[in-house]
Structure formats: C-alpha cells, structure tokens
C-alpha cells in the first residue's frame, strides 16, 4: 500500500509539470519525495539511472521528465526529441521494474493520437492512423512509453499507468519564443508588444485550429488521483473536455495582458492538427475531473510571468 511515508521519486521535478506535482504532494502531506537535478542524475545515462535505483529503491516513480518544445523546436530537432525521450523513459521504466517499484505513472501528451482522429479523442484511437508531422518524433517516443507500461502491466502484473494530458500551461512554463508552446508564447508576444507601444503581434497560422488547455495544477491533482487509486487500465486522457480556437485564445490573452494593437495571422506558417479535443470520460467515471477555468488559469499564469519576467529574460527555461 502507498502511504504518506512511501518513497516517491518525481523525475523532472524542476520543470513546470514536475514542480507542480511535488508541490501538490507536499500540500497533501507526502513527506518522502526524492528528486534529482539533471546535473546530479542524467536520465539518458543508463548506468547513472541503474545506480540511482539500486541506492534509492523508490516505491513510486512519477515520470514527468521529458525533452519538450513547440512546433518550431520539434521541426528543427526531431532526432533529439525522439532519442532523448526514448532514453529517459526506457531507463526509468526498466529500472523501476528491476527494482520492484510498486507503482509507475508515465506522463505523455495528447499528440500521441492521430492527426485526423475523430473528436473527441478516445484512448482507443491510439495507432489508428498517421500522426501530425510537426511533432511526430516526440509522439513516437511517448507512444513507445505508453506501450512499454502497457506490456509491463500485462506481463508482470505491475500497477503501471499512463496519463496523457492535453496542452498544458501554468506557472514555471517555458516562455522562450524559440521553444515554447502556443499559450506561453502568446503571453510573451503580447506582453513584449505592449511594452513597445502596443506594436502588432504576428501569430502563426490562421487561428482556426481548436485546442484544449489544462492547468498544470489540475494535472498534478490527476497524478495524485492515480497515485492514491489503482487504475484498472493503462491509458487515460487527462483534460477539461472543452476546447477553443487559437484565435479565441489569442483574443483572451490579449485582453488579459492589456495589449491594444493589431493581431496579424501569418498563414504561410503551419496550423498543425486541425482539432485536438480529448474524451476525458474514463477519468471522470473514476472520480476525477479538472477544476480550473481557462481564464482564471491564464490570469494566474500571467501574474507569475510578470513576477518572474526579469529572470526569464536572463535564463531560458527548459
């Protein structure tokens, strides 16, 4: 049984997702949380990970470690996105199994599903048709992780589960324009344009694709739900079940930031997947659902950005 003193290793604890999970666990009284910085433990290095598990032997592993980025980063560095993520998750899954870890929670992304998947996307739609080309490398790595956990569950009877969140945002997000996702990138663009006299903001694509957004604290709550319950299946979608167009998102962020200039849509740039709305009925049936409204979440994220914007200009978040 997992309890408040069980040793829990959170991989990727310094990122947006990992830090939210650690904070949420601590708020609930979990007191034996193990973390390592990348300088202390390179998760891509098999020997380092093997030694870490032989020494620490955690009862629970939460895999929030990954190489992540937006369309631009995925387009320019597909090999690194594939190989680095495969190395990280393979090492964590393998040595969790070999060291008799009781529970493993693998975090992926809704990009694992086909580009033209029926909407809303059910877990059963995995591997039914081709992926979105702009993030195929990352998606392939995450699909491999989902399947590895599924096979461990089937072959060894272990409580390994995979949570696939929709587009995430929140405090400690990546606001660097070269590597960030759409929502934090918009916050940066509108803020900087406002500071420059409400200059026009140029955004990629047509604004017509529809996206679903989940606050990172809601994902942390879903992870805790998976920790405290034995999920009957391997794969679960985690989202709000509500989506909006990218254009609607831009107008919402523009209003929150207070930018009054024009928005210019550069339709020579890719839109990506036309729509990506998750069917979250499996998690809802078990008793979990998201609580943070998109507007409230963006306001909180923007407030964090303002408090940390000086440091963000000096240090790229990764």
Cβ proximity of 126 and 113 under 8 Å: yes
CATH of the domain at 310: 3.40.50.720
Residue 240 lies in a domain: yes
Residue 189 lies in a domain: yes
Q: How do the pLDDT tens digits run along the chain, 318 residues long?
A: 799 999 999 999 999 999 999 999 999 999 999 999 999 999 999 999 999 999 999 999 999 999 987 777 888 899 999 999 999 999 999 999 999 999 999 999 999 999 899 999 999 999 999 998 888 999 999 999 999 999 999 999 999 999 999 999 999 998 988 778 899 999 999 999 999 999 999 999 999 999 999 999 999 999 999 999 999 999 999 999 999 999 999 999 999 999 999 999 999 998 877 888 999 999 999 999 999 999 999 999 999 999 997 565 543 332
pLDDT of residue 178: 79
Residue 26 lies in a domain: yes
Residue 273 assigned as binding residue: no
Number of domains in the chain: 1
Residue 168 assigned as binding residue: yes
Q: Could you give the angle at the alpha carbon of 67 between the alpha carbons of 2 and 123, nearest 5°?
A: 60
Residue 63 assigned as binding residue: no
Residue 275 lies in a domain: yes
Residue 2 lies in a domain: no
pLDDT of residue 229: 96
Cβ proximity of 194 and 258 under 8 Å: yes
Residue 176 lies in a domain: yes
Q: How far apart are CA 141 and CA 280, in angstroms?
A: 22
> By residue range, what is the domain housing residue 50?
8-314
Tell me the catalytic residues: 138
Residue 3 lies in a domain: no
Q: How far apart are CA 106 and CA 255, in angstroms?
A: 36
Residue with tokens 């409580």: 159
Residue 267 lies in a domain: yes
């Amino acid at each position: 049984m997992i309890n408040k003193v069980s040793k829990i290793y959170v991989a990727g604890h310094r990122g947006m997702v990992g830090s939210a999970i650690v904070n949420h666990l601590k708020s609930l009284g979990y007191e034996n949380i193990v973390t390592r910085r990348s300088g202390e433990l390179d998760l891509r290095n098999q020997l380092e990970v093997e030694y870490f598990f032989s020494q620490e032997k955690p009862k629970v592993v939460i895999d929030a470690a990954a190489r992540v980025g937006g369309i631009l980063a995925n387009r320019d560095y597909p090999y690194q996105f594939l190989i680095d993520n495969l190395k990280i998750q393979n090492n964590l899954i393998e040595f969790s199994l070999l060291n008799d870890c009781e529970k493993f929670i693998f975090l992926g992304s809704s990009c694992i599903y086909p580009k033209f998947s029926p909407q809303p996307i059910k877990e059963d739609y995995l591997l039914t048709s081709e992926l979105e080309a702009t993030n195929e490398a990352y998606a392939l790595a995450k699909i491999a992780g989902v399947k590895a956990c599924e096979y461990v569950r089937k072959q060894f009877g272990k409580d390994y589960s995979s949570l696939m969140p929709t587009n995430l945002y929140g405090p400690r997000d990546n606001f660097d324009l070269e590597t960030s996702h759409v929502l934090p990138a918009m916050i940066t663009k509108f803020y900087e344009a406002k500071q420059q006299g409400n200059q026009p903001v140029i955004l990629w694509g047509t604004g017509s694709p529809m996206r679903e957004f989940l606050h990172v604290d809601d994902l942390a709550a879903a992870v805790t739900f998976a920790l405290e319950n034995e999920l009957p299946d391997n794969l679960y979608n985690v989202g709000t079940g509500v989506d909006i167009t990218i254009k609607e998102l831009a107008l919402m962020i523009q209003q929150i930031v207070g930018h009054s200039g024009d928005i210019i849509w550069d339709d020579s740039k890719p839109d990506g997947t036309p729509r990506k709305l998750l069917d979250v009925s499996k998690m809802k049936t078990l008793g979990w659902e998201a609580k943070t409204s998109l507007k409230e979440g963006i306001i909180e994220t923007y407030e964090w950005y303002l408090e940390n914007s000086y440091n963000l200009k000096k240090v790229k978040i990764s």
